[in-house]
Amino acid sequence: MNTSTSTQRLGAAKQPMTISELRADYLAGKQTPESLIADIHARAAEVSHYNIWIHLLTNSEIQIYLDALQHKPIETHPLWGIPFAIKDNIDLAHIPTTAGCEAFAYTPTQSAKVVQQLIDAGAIPVGKTNLDQFATGLNGTRSPIGPCHNSFDPAYVSGGSSSGSSVAVGLGLATFSLGTDTAGSGRVPACFNNLIGLKPSVGLLSATGMVPACRSLDCMTVFAYNTDDANTVLSVAEGFDLTDGYSRANPYSNQTRQYGLRSGPLKVGIIPKEQLNFFGSDAYEKAYFDTINTLSSNGFELIEIDYAPFDEAAKLLYEGPWVTERYLAAQPIIDEQPEQVFPVVRQIIEQGSQPKATDLFSAEYRLHDLKQVCYAQLNALDCLLTPTAGRHFTIEEMLAEPILHNSQLGYYTNFMNLLDMASIAVPTQFTADGMPFGITLVGAALSDRALLSIANRVQQTFPLPTGAFNCPQPALTQSNVADSRVINVMVCG
């Protein structure tokens, strides 16, 4: 199944691509942003059949960003010369935003607020990436330009809907990328491409300039090689936005200085065996139990929770009235030019015109009740830990059962935004076939840095190479942090 060793993988980076390593190379004069972009363009051409990009920026389109670096000292610009990819439902000024649907496309005059902040900090946009159309999917095959192929084995799905953003980072065509996440779109592709997938608390990153899927639930996400990079990107990207109705201020306890290596014993919730589901994948089942056994020997006290209320909340997302938000987001195309919408996406979104307000209020009441029960469990823990996905499907398998297998991919992810929780997908294993597997850590809203600090510890427990190319991780942050919630109570109490 695994076609080659990582170093020989087509299109993959042949050099370290993390933020700290690129900055060191720049400062040492070993490389320039121009030379890096040229290398990325050359490698992108080798893998054009992976369907990573909807629009790869040309040299002339990229030049303004390179030129701007002349006026930005690297010392004060944490993302100086760092290439990043943008899911094509997020605006980059003067480049069309398609959401994977040509008929929907528009060309924004301004970048999304988050994109602009990254650019201001020195980051270089490389291109707009493929996605499951209107971010409706978790698998990466639901695009008119063709399925996005996995960075480890092109026969496998990339995961979606942030498919291109994950594979671009997986192959080292970008150091990090922006995705979006409503049902798991920022986490499932991270798992399938050996990446960190940071799904921040809803509202921590501005949604201004982002095409909504479910506007009340969506958030922008970050794919990166490690938690240090994810924290650096988050620190630049975050910020309250008065013009985003769902934006919210970040409290002291969740600011960037709270990131580090979470030390000491941890109470971590896990799903009881009978509530786990691997959909027939022995490889993922084995990888999961290997992972939790290793963590259990490394200070993670594993405590079984009741997953039923989480699962019930998850089912509300596609089976309940929230699909109406997708319908609103895809108007007027879905009403006036339905033939322009990818068939399986259309089939899902069209249902969204039906629910009544009574359905939505009833579902919201139930969701609030479930949230109390889920949070009561979560509040007794440092975090919850789940497999990120139960099985990794091939593209052929996915296309044979596009609704069923997609919903299986969301088994562990669909509840997160409805329950207003933060989560981080962390790679932990390769299967015997050399395919990546990972877990997701789940925490309360605005516990992002606490989660990232635990994810850092998980990542240091499982030393893996970066993405789909055979570079080892650089040294990650060692500075210990304890539970910030405890500190705050002690100081204030």
* Minimum CB–partner distance for residue 120 and a copy of itself (Å): 23
Closer by beta carbon to a copy of itself, 153 or else 238: 238
Which residue of the set 143, 151, 161, 423 is catalytic? 161
488 binds a copy of itself (CB under 8 A): yes
Write down how long the chain is: 493
Token code pair at residue 331: 């108007």
Burial call 326-351: b when 16+ CB within 10 Å, e when fewer? bbebbeebbeeeeeebbebbbebbbb
The size of the interface with a copy of itself (CB under 8 A), counted in residues, is 37
| Cβ neighbours around 140 below 10 Å, total | 32
Judged by DSSP in three states, 427 sits in: strand
Interface map 284-323 toward a copy of itself (x if CB under 8 A): -------------------------------------x--
Segment interacting with a copy of itself (CB under 8 A) among 228-236, 341-349, 361-369, 381-389: 361-369
Which residue of the set 6, 143, 165, 185 is catalytic? 185
Angle at 23 between CA 21 and CA 26, to 5 degrees: 110
Rounded Cα–Cα distance for residues 492 and 53 (Å): 49
Rounded Cα–Cα distance for residues 372 and 360 (Å): 18
Q: What is the DSSP letter of 184?
A: S
DSSP 1-61: ---S-GGG-TT--SS--SHHHHHHHHHTTS--HHHHHHHHHHHHHHTGGG--EEEEPPHHH
* Minimum CB–partner distance for residue 363 and a copy of itself (Å): 9
- Verify whether residue 199 is a known catalytic residue: no
Contacting a copy of itself (CB under 8 A), which of 103, 373, 399, 476?
Answer: 373
239 binds a copy of itself (CB under 8 A): no
- Verify whether residue 297 is a known catalytic residue: no
128 binds a copy of itself (CB under 8 A): no
Contacting a copy of itself (CB under 8 A), which of 63, 243, 293, 298?
Answer: 243
Closer by beta carbon to a copy of itself, 202 or else 345: 202
Bridge pairing between strands 83-87 and 124-129? parallel
282 binds a copy of itself (CB under 8 A): no
Rounded Cα–Cα distance for residues 153 and 138 (Å): 18
Long-range contacts (CB closer than 8 Å, 24 or more residues apart) made by 280-286: 280/391, 281/390, 281/391, 281/392, 283/392, 283/431, 283/432, 283/433, 283/435, 283/437, 284/387, 284/389, 284/390, 284/391, 284/392, 284/431, 284/437, 286/431
| Cβ neighbours around 265 below 10 Å, total | 9
247 binds a copy of itself (CB under 8 A): yes
- Verify whether residue 185 is a known catalytic residue: yes
Map the footprint of a copy of itself across residues 5-44, applying CB under 8 A: none
Judged by DSSP in three states, 190 sits in: helix
Contacting a copy of itself (CB under 8 A), which of 5, 109, 242, 265?
Answer: 242
Segment interacting with a copy of itself (CB under 8 A) among 258-266, 299-307, 367-375, 457-465: 367-375
78 phi, psi to nearest 5 deg: -65, -15
358 binds a copy of itself (CB under 8 A): yes
Map the footprint of a copy of itself across residues 318-347, applying CB under 8 A: 321, 324-325, 327-328
60 binds a copy of itself (CB under 8 A): no
Which residue of the set 87, 128, 199, 371 is catalytic? 87
486 binds a copy of itself (CB under 8 A): no
Distance of CA 369 to the CA centre of its chain: 28
* Minimum CB–partner distance for residue 147 and a copy of itself (Å): 31
Interface map 90-119 toward a copy of itself (x if CB under 8 A): ------------------------------
Map the footprint of a copy of itself across residues 189-228, applying CB under 8 A: 215-216
Segment interacting with a copy of itself (CB under 8 A) among 8-16, 154-162, 239-247, 298-306: 239-247
359 binds a copy of itself (CB under 8 A): yes
475 binds a copy of itself (CB under 8 A): no
Bridge pairing between strands 266-270 and 83-87? unpaired
372 binds a copy of itself (CB under 8 A): yes
Which residues sit at the interface with a copy of itself, rule CB under 8 A? 215-216, 242-247, 252, 321, 324-325, 327-328, 352-353, 355-362, 364-365, 367-369, 371-373, 376, 488, 491-493
Catalytic residue numbers, as ranges: 87, 161, 185
